[in-house]
Chain A
Amino acid sequence: MASISFEGVAHSYERKPRGDRDYALKTLEMTFENGGAYALLGPSGCGKTTLLNIISGLLRPTRGRVLYDGRDVTGLRPAQRNIAQVFQFPVIYDTMTVAENLAFPLRNRGLDRATIGRRVHEVATMLELENVLGQRAAGLTADQKQKVSLGRGLVREDVAAVLLDEPLTVIDPQLKWLLRRKLKEVHARYNHTFVYVTHDQNEALTFADRVVVMYDGSIVQVGAPQDLFERPLHRFVGYFIGSPGMNFLPCHPTGDGLGIDGTDIVMGGAWFEKAAERAHARLELGIRPEHLQALATADGDTVPARILRVEDLGNYKLVTAMLGPHRLFAKVPEGQEIGNENTNLRFPPARTRLYADGELLV
């Protein structure tokens, strides 16, 4: 078990990287605390897998150092780093039985038979594989194969971290939650550092204590699921997490508040001063559909909007409304009146954020 730190790590797949654009992973400073359950979340091509492979040592970073518990491991091979890694597609040794698969890493290290047998049995029991130990691994189902590849990592007692690269991609939907629960169970029992790569926000938010959101080779926010939802530090986090994502309204400072671009509407509020400091930046108001209120009757702090569409999604209604030229989503509780053609939107100040050039201002 170990805490994993990145010191100025950057990686490029080009042989001679020139500009920032050539880097798949921009310079990172980051520490994964010992025993934490982390999720690396981001769209395809954002550098998640690159980051994971640098942790495991499959990739050597172009720049920077990787530390395990303060010890520099940048130059060590994956086997020397002693990590477990589960890949997107199950990797098993076809010609071996499940037991031989699980024993493989230990045999490669030359451990004695008794120890190997004990460890294999323990891990198989933990992963509920004891019934298939004697079977050929090639004949297993996809979820069992993923358990075997996880087990090959876990058999080593002193494993530094468990790395998972979208491990549920090929698992049947009804089995996904079972395997995910198993992963949580393994984490709770052994308290290894878990790093889980995914582009699925549900997986990330349900699995991890700390979610690392990545975008275009950089880490944009590290936080608990709640933080990411309530206070996205970057407009990308707001947009990427949530379904639908955060609403953004381009705006500009005017005499006594923030004018919404393309309308006559001016929003008053505490953020005015901050916004004035960054008058040349691209300013946007951000609010989650869950927090935006759509009301049938106007009052002092609402703004009028035109209803484009209302979708009934069972336990709530998804309202699509046009505020001037801007399209906004609002999730409205079942049974609440929203008006017929027009509605009145309220932006609760405590839930409304202001972004300058994509970064959180207020």
Chain B
Amino acid sequence: MDLEKIKSEIEAAVPGCRLQLIHNDSPSGQHSLLLDREHAVAVATFLRDDPELRFDYCSNASGVDWLDKETSEKVKVKQLVDGVEQEAEEVRKTRIPGYLEAVYHLYSMEKKHGPIVFRLHTEDRGDGARLPSMTPVWRSAEFQEREIFDLYGIVFEGHPDLRRILMWDEFEDHPMRKDYVEPNDYEYEPTPHEAVLEKAKQARAAE
């Protein structure tokens, strides 16, 4: 599939959307499109409903975690040392903020073509880890987005039933993140019993 052509078609159909073609160096040649969060649902609906493209089947949705990156470069700067100008090397560090990513693989069952890959980036890895949900467009994303929420912590806005799917509900962290630290006690699970004990303790203290 010619991704350049699809890109221009999307741009014509969804005014105002910002697309970026991401090149893939692997021999697989599966290049992808980076969509902006605001127009993602409109673009996805276009990809699904356009009579030429008809990507009616969202095969795979996966999360990826990209950590903060630090790049350092050596820069030559002029310094005044004892009144004499000298050239010295200084290391400058630039910090590229990390983000979480959701990657979707689409195929067409009607036209039997594909795949087309598109990705969405969150703003950051903290509170801004929000993305529009693709479940209203393709229901096959329902469980997969729940899994991404569970393991990566991306909150999908517009998802009908966003709950943990593989980990238990009381679990707090997101284990697939690259900076995840394993708990030292796997067996620990808050139980209703502990809340009762705590309450009893407080009641006894008040007596």
A, B: real partners: no
Which B residues contact A (CB, under 8 angstroms)?
A: none
